[in-house]
Amino acid sequence: MAEFRCRRCGNCCRWPGHVHVTDREVDAIAAMLGMSPEDFIEKYTRLTEDRRGLSLIENELGHCIFLENTEPATCRIDENKPQQCRDFPARWNFPGWEKECAGGGEM
């Protein structure tokens, strides 16, 4: 994959689906937000359908709970965002992502 440059459109954060978080990520995000891991889990995660892990919850629009609807889009937990988020689009993406992502045409 050619070099990808994120333009902070936020469309990857609006796409439906799980955003998996590991125990280590839960600890880091909770600490950043000034809360206990237990409180973070209760407030911001849900059990995945296969019951094998945790996923961040969505807001009322179905977007990631940590997406700030600004121009450009920002992530409230950017410095500690999950690896899944960091890996987009090189390690995961969705069908047609290039059309949805402002940086998709720069591949």
Does the structure show a pLDDT above 70 at 23? Answer: yes
pLDDT in tens, 92-105: 887 888 888 877 65
Mean pLDDT of 79-106: 84
Mean pLDDT of 39-51: 96
Average of per-residue pLDDT values in the chain: 90
Burial 5-24 (b: 16+ CB within 10 A, else e): eeeebbbbbbbeeebbbeee
Query: What is the pLDDT, as a whole number, of residue 107?
Result: 44
Report CA dihedral (6, 11, 17, 18) to the nearest 10 degrees.
40
Q: pTM for the full model?
A: 0.85
* 47 or 2, which is more confident: 47
